[in-house]
């Protein structure tokens, strides 16, 4: 059985009249990158604060690395790393001084401290620039350094709150590669909040979607795709007559067909051979130029979930 | 726990020094202070600089001012620069964070004050070369150490308490500067007293042993410092610091 890194049961947090997190029940298996998705203000940051024991829940409970957030928050913070909304770097200090401080906080002994700092900075190209004052760096470099700081003590679990927010596309891609690499290399559980769905699709093995503090869906990417509709086929060509479309709709493996400007979008029920469908179109006089199978993107899944659950 | 306090204090000191020395102005103001209190005033006062009984007052006052000028930044500044939440999300205990910050401020203020004392002695001995070694008596030396620690401790503990709740570092600094006026209250009250009472107070104070006054003042400062630190520890709540 896969160990569970995070388990919440009806976790709830109110701020006066606003319910930021609403009866959230969730399990995050250890050793994966878990995406926690939601629009701005959906309760992602509050959830991280609750899981780190920085805020007390109004109701419900949460266990992180087997420790209760109400009673063992110190233990959780000792074993987890966190890159929160802001990078949290001391901008008047050098990169090395920043890491050295947190390495001391996590009680890394002298020699191990220096070696670990080098081990983390070298792969991201910051080792040569470690003496520079962080305040003069670009946001992308600061985020890379902040990720390195999060990993100093080899935590079992890392919380990353919108790590690529505000970065230019190149810096975002570099940081994403760093995150994927660290998840594979260090074997940590990563709890990643983001509203960048392409990022979640690339990095996460499982995702949860929340809105207004409520969990809308949770599961593997394929599972969520299936939930929001099966695979699709796109056929590009000419002569898609009404009869051809009707014939397609009559097939049991076809869920729906949409015709638009020389393009047919066919919703399929499960994994289906496309050859009989293409033959049927040809028999009805259609000229087929291109056939593509596709799956719903995470963005489409996300939007479908938002539409299913109106505010 | 002690290792954690020292870790936080070390980082705070680096930040204080980076803040002071970050620009030319920061270093200049420190050099100016060393010049005035470490060279100019000792040379003006001559032997009185090491013999006056009012000396202890200045060696509590100067570290107080130095500490007050930096402590406002401790929590409010970190919150403004968005570094506080990351610190609070670490394994450090509440006590380690709070005491480490207070310790750094005290170390900075006392370090600079003691550098001034040393420089003053060097200046005097150079200026009055040939008149024998000029030094503080042992009791005054002990008093300087104790009062500089207590004076900076007062500013550090009050400042940490204020900085915990201030929205910005500027607001914390403004509140700290208002507190200085508290020290002038006895002087204002004294001036409002009838002339006979004023005379009686002067006679009474004149009759007291300076050592006793120093001990009483030291005891009072110790109690106030401890009470303020205890209050700050009680009011330190991670959730509140984050939500503020």
Average pLDDT for chain B: 85
Residue A110: pLDDT band by 50, 70, 90 thresholds? confident
Rounded to an integer, what distance in angstroms lies between the CA atom of residue B85 and that of residue A159?
A: 13
pLDDT above 70 coverage of chain A, percent: 96
DSSP B86: H
Chain B hits for A88, CB-CB cut-off 8 Å, are: 82-83, 85-87
Nearest Cα of chain A lies from the Cα of B162 at a distance, in angstroms, of 21
Higher pLDDT, B177 or B229: B229
Q: How many domains does chain B have?
A: 1
ipTM of the complex: 0.84
Q: What phi and psi values does residue A20 have, to the nearest 5 degrees?
A: -80, -40
SS3 B58: helix
In A, which residues are within 8 Å of B242 by CB distance?
49, 54-55
Q: What pLDDT, on a 0 to 100 scale, did the predictor assign at position B52?
A: 74
Which domain, by its residues, includes B75?
Answer: 2-243
Instruction: Return the residue in A85, A90, A133 with the most chain B beta carbons within 10 A, the one to mutate for interface testing.
Output: A90
Q: Give the separation between CA A62 and CA A54, rounded to whole angstroms.
A: 12
Tokens of B103: 């310790």
Token pair, residue B88, equals 């609070």
CA–CA gap between residue A102 and residue A121 (Å, rounded): 14
**Mean pLDDT lowest among A69-83, A157-171, B146-160:** A157-171
Is B25's pLDDT higher than 80? Answer: no
**Residue A93 with chain B: CB contacts under 8 Å:** 11, 14-15, 18
Q: Which residues pair with A255 in a beta bridge?
A: none
Query: Burial letters for B136-159: b for 16+ Cβ neighbours within 10 Å, e otherwise?
Result: beeebeebbebbbbbbbbbbbbbb
User: For A2-61, how does the pLDDT look when each residue is reduced to its tens digit (9 = 90+)?
Assistant: 789 999 999 999 998 899 999 999 999 998 899 999 888 889 999 999 999 999 999 999
Instruction: Decide if A303 touches B, using CB distance below 8 A.
Output: no
Is the pLDDT score of B22 beyond 60?
no
Model pLDDT, residue B23: 54
* Average pLDDT in chain A: 87
pTM: 0.81
- pLDDT band (50, 70, 90) for residue B212: confident
Tell me: pLDDT of A106 over 60. Answer: yes
Residues of B in CB contact (< 8 Å) with A are 3-4, 7, 10-11, 14-15, 18-19, 22, 81-83, 85-93, 238-239, 242-243
Are A51 and A24 in contact by the 8 Å Cβ rule? The answer is: no
Q: Decide if pLDDT at B21 tops 70.
A: no
Token couple for B195: 């002339």
Predicted confidence (pLDDT) at residue A1 exceeds the cutoff of 70: no
Q: State whether residue A97 sits within 8 Å of chain B by CB.
A: yes
Return the closest-CA partner of residue B39 out of B106, B96, B121. Answer: B121
A52 in contact with chain B, both atoms CB, cutoff 8 A = yes
Query: Does residue B86 have a pLDDT over 70?
Result: yes
What integer pLDDT is reported at residue B76 of this predicted model? 86
Residue of B nearest to A80 (CA): B90
Burial of A8 (0-12, 13-18, 19+ CB in 10 A): buried
Could you tell me which residue, B205 or B115, shows the higher pLDDT?
Answer: B115
Residue A311's pLDDT is: 58
Query: Do B82 and A86 make contact, defined as CB atoms within 8 angstroms?
Result: yes
Measure A86 CA to nearest chain B CA, in Å: 6
Chain B residues with CB inside 8 Å of A109's CB? none
What pLDDT, on a 0 to 100 scale, did the predictor assign at position A228?
Answer: 65
pLDDT at B63: 87
pLDDT digits (tens, 9 = 90+) for A285-306: 888 899 888 776 777 777 777 7
List pLDDT tens digits, range A226-280: 776 677 888 898 888 888 888 888 888 888 888 887 888 888 877 678 888 889 8
What number of other Cβ atoms are within 10 A of residue A305's Cβ?
Answer: 18
Is the separation of the CB atoms in A33 and A67 below 8 Å? no
Please judge whether B85 and A84 are an interchain contact, meaning their C-beta atoms are less than 8 angstroms apart: yes
H, E, C per residue of chain A: CCCEEEEEEEEEEEECCEEEEEEEEEEEECCCEEEEECCCCCCHHHHHHHHCCCCCCCEEEEEECCEECCCCHHHHHHHEEEECCCCCCCCCCEHHHHHHHHHHHCCCCHHHHHHHHHHHHHHHCCHHHCCCEHHHCCHHHHHHHHHHHHHCCCCCEEEEECCCCCCCHHHHHHHHHHHHHHHHHHCCEEEEEECCHHHHHHHCCEEEEEECCEEEEEEEHHHHHHHCCCCEEEEEEECCCHHHHHHHHCCCCEEEEEEECCEEEEEECCCCCCHHHHHHHHHCCCEEEEEEEECCCHHHHHHHHHHHCCC
pLDDT category, B62, cuts 50, 70, 90? confident
Cβ within 8 Å, pair B242-A106: no
Q: Cα-atom radius of gyration of chain A, to the nearest Å?
A: 24
pLDDT above 90: residue B50: no
A165 in contact with chain B, both atoms CB, cutoff 8 A: no
CB atoms A54 and B15 under 8 Å: no
Report whether A180 contacts A203 (CB < 8 A): yes
Predicted local confidence at residue A310, as pLDDT: 58
| CB atoms A88 and B88 under 8 Å | no
């Amino acid at each position: 059985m896969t160990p569970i890194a995070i388990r919440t049961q009806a976790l709830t947090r109110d701020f006066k009249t606003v319910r930021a997190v609403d009866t959230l029940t969730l399990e995050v298996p250890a050793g994966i990158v878990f995406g926690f998705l939601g629009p701005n203000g959906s309760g992602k940051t509050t959830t991280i604060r609750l899981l780190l024991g920085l805020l007390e829940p109004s109701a419900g409970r949460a266990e992180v690395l087997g420790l209760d957030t109400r009673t063992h928050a110190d233990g959780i913070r000792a074993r987890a790393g966190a890159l929160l909304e802001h990078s949290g770097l001391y901008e008047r200090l050098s990169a090395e001084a920043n890491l050295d401080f947190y390495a001391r906080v996590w009680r890394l002994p002298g020699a191990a401290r220096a070696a670990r700092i080098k081990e983390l900075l070298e792969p991201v190209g910051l080792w040569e620039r470690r003496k520079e004052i962080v305040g003069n760096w670009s946001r992308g470099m600061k985020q890379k350094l902040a990720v390195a700081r999060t990993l100093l003590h080899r935590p079992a679990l890392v919380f990353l709150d919108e790590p690529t927010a505000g970065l230019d596309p190149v810096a975002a891609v570099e940081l994403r590669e760093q995150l994927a690499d660290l998840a594979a290399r260090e074997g940590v559980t990563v709890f990643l909040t983001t509203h960048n769905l392409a990022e979640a699709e690339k990095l996460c093995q499982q995702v949860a979607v929340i809105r207004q503090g409520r969990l809308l869906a949770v599961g593997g990417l394929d599972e969520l795709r299936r939930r929001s509709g099966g695979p699709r086929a796109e056929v590009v060509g000419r002569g898609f007559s009404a009869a051809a479309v009707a014939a397609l709709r009559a097939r049991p493996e076809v869920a729906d067909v949409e015709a638009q400007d020389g393009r047919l979008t066919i919703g399929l029920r499960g994994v289906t051979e496309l050859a009989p469908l293409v033959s049927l179109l040809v028999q009805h006089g259609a000229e087929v130029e291109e056939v593509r199978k596709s799956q719903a993107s995470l963005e489409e899944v996300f939007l479908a979930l938002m539409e299913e659950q109106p505010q | 726990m002690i290792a954690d306090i020292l870790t936080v204090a070390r980082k705070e000191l680096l930040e204080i020094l980076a803040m002071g020395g970050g620009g030319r102005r920061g270093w200049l103001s420190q050099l100016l202070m060393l010049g005035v209190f470490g060279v100019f005033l000792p040379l003006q006062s001559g032997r009185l600089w090491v013999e006056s009984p009012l000396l202890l007052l200045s060696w509590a006052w100067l570290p107080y001012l130095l500490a007050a000028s930096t402590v406002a930044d401790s929590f409010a500044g970190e919150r403004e620069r968005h570094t506080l939440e990351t610190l609070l999300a670490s394994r450090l205990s509440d006590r380690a964070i709070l005491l480490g910050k207070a310790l750094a401020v005290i170390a900075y203020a006392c370090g600079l004050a003691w550098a001034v004392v040393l420089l003053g002695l060097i200046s005097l001995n150079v200026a009055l070369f040939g008149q024998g070694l000029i030094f503080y008596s042992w009791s005054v030396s002990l008093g300087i150490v104790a009062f500089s620690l207590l004076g900076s401790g007062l500013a550090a503990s009050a400042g940490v308490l204020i900085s915990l709740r201030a929205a910005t570092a500027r607001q914390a600094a403004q509140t700290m500067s208002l507190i200085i006026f508290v020290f002038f209250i006895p002087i204002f009250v004294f001036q409002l007293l009838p002339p006979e009472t004023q005379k009686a107070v002067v006679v009474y104070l004149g009759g007291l042993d300076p050592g006793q006054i120093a001990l009483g003042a030291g005891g009072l400062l110790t109690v106030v410092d401890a009470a303020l630190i205890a209050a700050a520890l009680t009011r330190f709540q991670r959730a509140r610091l984050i939500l503020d």
